[in-house]
Structures are given as C-alpha cells and as structure tokens.
Amino acid sequence: MTLKGYPGLSQDDVRIAAKGRVTIATAPQARLNAQHERLTGAAAPGTATRTYRPHDHCQDGGAPLCRGTIFSCDVGGLGNGGYFRHTLAASATWESMMGASTSRSHIFRAYPTPGLTGSLAAVLVVRTYGDDIQIRITNLTTGTSSTHTTSAAGTPAWQGAISDIPFTAGQENLFDIEIKGDLGEQLDLLGLCVYEDTATHPSSNGTTTYSGL
C-alpha cells in the first residue's frame, strides 16, 4: 500500500458545491497513515513496513524535550568532602575548583539536548570552611558564566541553586566550577545536579493548545 504521505489538506478542496475529486478521499487517508507512523513508530495499519521515521523530540521532529539531569555527582557524607575540595589561593578572585596542580582541562562535560534554548539549572550541596564563599558554573565552550550563589558559612551543609547556566544545545559542553572568597577559605562540593527543565523548551511557532483549537 502506498497510501502514505503529506499532501496538503486544503479547505479549498472541499468547498460547498465544488466537484469532488478522488484526492479528497485519498489525501486524508495518506496523511493519516503517515501520521500514524510518525506518531507511534509502528507501520500504518495494514502495511508491512514503516515508511516514516517516528518523531523523537529531537532530530527526527516533535517539540524538543528537556531530558532532566545531564550531569550529577556526589561524594556522600561530610567525611568524604576531601574528594571535591578547593582551598582558595587568593582573595576576591574566581578560582577553578580543579586547582593549579592538575592539567585537567575542565571539571565535567555534558550534552544539552538539541533544540533547547534558555539556560540550564543546577542544585548543589556544599560545606564551607571560613566565611561565605561565592560559587558559579562557567561554560568553557561558550566562555560565559552563570551568576553566582553564595554559600552560608558555618553551617554543616548548605544547599543552593543556580538557574542561569549558559549552554550550547546539541554538542558537548565543557564546564568548570569556580569559587571566590578570602584567601585560605575552603569549600567542599558534596553533591551537584545539572539539569534541563521545561524552562529550556523553546517557544513553539504554534499559538494554540490542542484543547483550545
């Protein structure tokens, strides 16, 4: 059966008193068969093979979808703070948590979903030794940084959030975690989750939701 395709379904073809051509019957059926395959990923009813690729909310069509977590790490209890620790070597200067003793190019990498826009978000748990310390996430691929959040000093563990991490969709992005405070102050990163949420969904060209159509 070859009755699959995307012919236009124009109101002009079904005007009152207009002559009916066979396409007024074949066109909607072709569209329904093609849409069945694009929607479900299965061959249209009665056909042996699938002609159209299913939508995947990415490169094969459909609205781009956020995927949730794109990077996370956690070192567990406070006793493991030394696994993800940085002691500031200067005051009032942004320093990478990688420190200077490694040739590591970045702390983590992530692949934001193609088609998304806006900013990534993060939630993090830290422990600060000393005064308040500012924390931000820098995207080394774009060369831009998030705004910073400031961890409260003197608390056993502190939870914060960042909502404006820059990214480029559809490719690997390299990230650094930077902190700023006073010389000698120390910060342990205990947990971090970087995620795509619905705020990264691009605006649709459509203006009406299905329930209002």
Partner 1 sequence: MATTAKANKLALVSPRDAITEAWAQQSAQNANGQYEATWDAAAPGASAQTFAGHDHTPQGGGGPIHRGCLWSACTVSSDLIDLSFTSANQAIELVKSGEAIDTMQIHPSPGLRADALLTGWICYYARNSDRFVLQMADSPTIYDVELPVSDGEKYNWLRFEIPVAYSGRWKARNLFIVCGSYDSSNAPVISLQALQIDELPNVIDRRGTGFVETPAAAGQTIIRSFGTLDDALYAADEWLDSYTLRELYGSINGLCEGIEDARAPKASSQVCRGHDHDAGNYGGRAIARGGCYTASLQGATYLYRIAYNGTSYSGYRAWDLDDGADRRSAASIGMALFWVGPGLASSGNPPTTAPYLTARLYVEWDAGAEIPTLNFRALNIGLSQYSAVTSVAATSSHSAWISVDKIPCDDDAINEIQFEVEMTGTTTVQNIDLIAFAVYEVPGVGARTNTSLPVLATGGVS
What residues from 134 to 193 belong to the interface with partner 1 (CB under 8 A)?
Answer: 155-159, 161, 170, 189-191, 193
Select the span of 84-92, 131-139, 142-150 touching partner 1 (CB under 8 A). Answer: 84-92
195 touches partner 1 by CB under 8 A: yes
- Which residues face 127 on adjacent strands? 188
The bridge status of strand 149-151 relative to strand 133-139 is antiparallel
To partner 1, the closest distance from the beta carbon of 61 in angstroms equals 5
Q: How far apart are CA 185 and CA 180, in angstroms?
A: 9
Select the span of 39-47, 130-138, 141-149 touching partner 1 (CB under 8 A). Answer: 39-47
Amino acid at 20: G
- Contacts with 28 (C-beta within 8 Å, 6 or more apart), sequence order: 9
To partner 1, the closest distance from the beta carbon of 49 in angstroms equals 8
To partner 1, the closest distance from the beta carbon of 139 in angstroms equals 16
Are 119 and 196 contacting, i.e. CB atoms less than 8 angstroms apart? no
Applying CB under 8 A, which of residues 94, 140, 163, 197 lies at the interface with partner 1? 197
How wide is the angle at C-alpha 42 spanned by C-alphas 32 and 38, nearest 5°?
50
- Which residues face 176 on adjacent strands? 138
To partner 1, the closest distance from the beta carbon of 92 in angstroms equals 22
Amino acid at 171: Q
- Which residues face 108 on adjacent strands? 175
To partner 1, the closest distance from the beta carbon of 111 in angstroms equals 5
85 touches partner 1 by CB under 8 A: yes
46 touches partner 1 by CB under 8 A: yes
